[in-house]
Structure 1
Amino acid sequence: MVRQPGAEAAVEHERRRSGPVHGRPRKRPDLDRHRPHARACAGRGLRRGRPEHRTGWVRRCRRFGGGASGCRGARARKEFSVTALPKVELHLHLEGGAPPAFIRGLAAEKHVDISGIFDAQGAYKYRDFWDFLKVYEAATSVLTTPEDYRRLTLAVLEESAASGVIYSETFLSPDFCGGRDVGAWREYLAAIRDAADEAEAKDGIVLRGVVTCIRHFGPEKARETAVCAAETAGDWLVGFGIAGDERAGALKDFVWSFDCAREAGLRLTAHAGEWGGPESVRDALDDLGVERIGHGVRAIEDLALVDRLAEDGIVLEVCPGSNIALGVYPNWRAHPIDRLRERGVKVTVSTDDPPFFHTTMSHEYDQLADAFDWDEGVFADLARVSALAAFCDADTRATILKKLEQT
């Protein structure tokens, strides 16, 4: 697993330089030193890497005299159900949410052999971020019709609703839906919307779409993607962004695409600050004029940039489980989301590509509660920040906020 050079060292430098915040030391004991005990306390049937791994294990440790005293380095947290908390997710790739079993089944229906992208247990397998991109595109290759995307959308939203998500924005790419042909894209989009309406009627979850161009596909294809987005912008398709390999090309090469989307009334986000470092966050703000940043966590390596994010109210779509699975950070306590939040940055929590990273929204919440002692109040604040940062229309936002206030 590849880790971005210098990322961990820079995080440690920032921690030492900044010292305590609000009287609390930044350095916290690392539960990873106690994995043998954690595994012993985890109960039967839990495998490392699955979303339920270590879920609520601090509570289980009490059976063995646990809590802060019985499990050195672990701190007892107030017990509450993270699944029951209403959640708003702003960073979810539709294809990236495809359950492995769904993709395997679809491949079997079409007699396509993509067995190499799965491990012995049937989960997605990859070596590092760049191998992940190849596996992602291989999985996506079996999604070839609007009906495939209708079924995919239902499967993804069922998983999200089960985790307590009441509103989600999903990234869609005409690159995968009709080859950037506007007519074909309309057919795919209609199928996705039909599935979203069905899921909303069944489970109450609301979905909106954000088109993304793919950075490593180049600026010319991004222009075609932007035209598709502009032609279908409206009350359901509400945003435009860029995803893919941050090292491929300069963001300034995509200005035309973002200007096109902006003129169509779409709101803007960009993947940055994951592998490209803090400079990529600054480029997204300066060159593309976005109001949200996908990931953005490596801004922590530049405190002046952190201050700018806080002062300008830029919202970060943070995906901690994704960052840890890909090796950007070694564990949950090393993740900078808590420090960014303490410094006034508006952070939200999302899953990115949940089955690829063995996570769910409930799993993200549970791990954050254990790592940083976050309680219901913190998560309620996160959900409200997410709702206010959503790209949806005012009436939809008001409905989401009302649901949040009722819990």
Structure 2
Amino acid sequence: MRADSSSTRPIRALPKAHLHLHFTGSMRHSTLVELARRHGVHLPEALVEDWPPRLRATDERGWFRFQRLYDIARSVLREPEDVRRLLREAAEDEAAEGSGWLEIQVDPSGYAGRFGGLTPTVELVLDAAREAEAATGVGIGIVIAANRTRHPLDARTLARLAVRYAGRGVVGFGLSNDERRGRAYDFEGAFRIARRAGLLSTPHGGELLGPASVRECLEILHADRIGHGVRAVEDPALLSRVIERGVVLEVCPASNVALGVAPSAAAVPVRALYEAGARLALGADDPLLFGSRLARQYELARTEHGFTDAELADLARASVTGSVAPAEIRKRLLDGIDAWLAAPPSVPADTAHPAFT
């Protein structure tokens, strides 16, 4: 279903929050290339001339290639200033996309070896986030994420670390990486630690695996939000429970296509989930590897799923109300969404592919 976009409001002017963005995956491509040159890191052609890479992760080999490219990209972050630059530029890009609140997900284990351990890494990220907020006006919350391919005891260590900084910039606890290599129930103890401290529960599920993965996140990890979660559409009874509990699904259309979860943007079940009553927060996941940022996800909802401006405003509201943004930021964004919708449409529409350098 394609919308008539001859008279529509500009998507980048729509205030919104961004709830599904990974740390290294937020990096600008030009920054990746520059830091690799500076630190003597060899980048494969898929991250240089053939960027964005052609990916498919629905089999083990495809996921291994995706993870390998991500690990190579992460390796260019060698100095504290690299981390500060990454977060500052991520916040600048969020502002350009119309996002006033960002919850960015990081597994400090992947960076601890370079920055003096887990605790110094988290403190560096939090300090860099505060600097980025001050420079751009975009609020930033940190979600500490465990890697489901590592031992559950490692996740408990990260959960305790997240708890230590709850209320000081850390807002949630997540679980990422290949669903096929770590079941949610193995990580129940870590999530219990995080929930007791009031941290948001934001595991990935229902991306590479089907409804059972969503069910485990819902029932065992007591998810407040589920990263992706699109496969819930395959089980109407499960989807009803997701809706009844008010769980937000962080849907990432471009990512789903790039990784082979859906054959096309039109096949990502954004419309079906929305019409069923699910709360959806669109996310870009890893722009560095997928080639598009937040506004593009809204453009896909408009062009591929026929979302009207009123419906796009609904998506933006769900992103804000599903966040843990402070009350003053939440009010500003929600008031801005109402003002965006009350304004007359623009001609022509803002339909260009989002640029980022």
TM interval, shorter chain, is 0.7 to 0.9
Residue 279 of structure 1 corresponds to which residue in structure 2? 212
Residue 169 of structure 1 corresponds to which residue in structure 2? 103
Residue 90 of structure 2 corresponds to which residue in structure 1? 156
Three-state SS of the structure 2 residue aligned to 1:167 is strand
Three-state SS of the structure 1 residue aligned to 2:220 is helix
User: CA 1:170/1:312 → structure 2, altered by over 3 Å: closer, same or farther?
Assistant: same
Residue 348 of structure 1 corresponds to which residue in structure 2? 281
After superposition, where does 1:218-367 map in structure 2 within 5 Å? 218-367=151-300
Superposed displacement of residue 146, structure 1: 2.8
Residue 120 of structure 1 corresponds to which residue in structure 2? 49
Residue 145 of structure 1 corresponds to which residue in structure 2? 79
User: CA 1:180/1:227 → structure 2, altered by over 3 Å: closer, same or farther?
Assistant: farther
Corresponding pairs, count = 334
The amino acid of 1:154's aligned partner reads: R
After superposition, where does 1:49-198 map in structure 2 within 5 Å? 76-77=4-5, 78-115=7-44, 117-124=46-53, 126-128=55-57, 129-130=62-63, 131-179=65-113, 184-198=117-131
Three-state SS of the structure 2 residue aligned to 1:90 is strand
Listed as ranges, the gaps of 5+ residues in structure 1 are 1-27, 29-73
1:215 aligns with 2:175: no
Distance of 1:306 and 1:340 partners within structure 2 = 8
User: CA 1:200/1:232 → structure 2, altered by over 3 Å: closer, same or farther?
Assistant: closer
| Greater gyration radius | 1
Distance of 1:122 and 1:279 partners within structure 2 = 34
Contact 2:145 2:174 in 1 (8 A): yes
Q: Deviations over 1:371-394 (max 9, x none)?
A: 122122112111111111112344
Superposed displacement of residue 125, structure 1: 5.2
Identity of aligned residues (%): 38
Listed as ranges, the gaps of 5+ residues in structure 2 are 341-357
Three-state SS of the structure 1 residue aligned to 2:49 is coil
RMSD of the alignment, in Å?
2.2
Superposed displacement of residue 235, structure 1: 4.1
Three-state SS of the structure 2 residue aligned to 1:247 is helix
Contact 1:118 1:125 in 2 (8 A): no
Superposed displacement of residue 265, structure 1: 2.1
Contact 2:3 2:302 in 1 (8 A): no
When structure 1 is superposed on structure 2, of 136-145 and 264-273 the one drifting more is: 136-145
Distance of 1:79 and 1:284 partners within structure 2 = 37
Superposed displacement of residue 141, structure 1: 1.9
Residue 309 of structure 2 corresponds to which residue in structure 1? 376
Contact 1:100 1:124 in 2 (8 A): no
Contact 2:207 2:261 in 1 (8 A): yes
The amino acid of 2:235's aligned partner reads: D
Three-state SS of the structure 1 residue aligned to 2:155 is helix
The two structures have a TM-score, normalised by structure 2, of 0.87
The amino acid of 1:283's aligned partner reads: E
Superposed displacement of residue 227, structure 1: 2.1
Q: Deviations over 1:164-215 (max 9, x none)?
A: 111111001111232599x744433343334333433343211111110011
Distance of 2:224 and 2:319 partners within structure 1 = 13
Contact 2:175 2:203 in 1 (8 A): yes
User: CA 1:397/1:325 → structure 2, altered by over 3 Å: closer, same or farther?
Assistant: same
User: CA 1:245/1:358 → structure 2, altered by over 3 Å: closer, same or farther?
Assistant: same
Distance of 1:194 and 1:368 partners within structure 2 = 35
Three-state SS of the structure 1 residue aligned to 2:209 is coil
Higher relative contact order (CA 8 A, sep 6+): 2
User: CA 1:101/1:180 → structure 2, altered by over 3 Å: closer, same or farther?
Assistant: closer
User: CA 1:306/1:81 → structure 2, altered by over 3 Å: closer, same or farther?
Assistant: same
Q: Deviations over 1:132-161 (max 9, x none)?
A: 112111211222333221111112222222
Superposed displacement of residue 124, structure 1: 4.3
Q: Deviations over 1:15-65 (max 9, x none)?
A: xxxxxxxxxxxxx5xxxxxxxxxxxxxxxxxxxxxxxxxxxxxxxxxxxxx
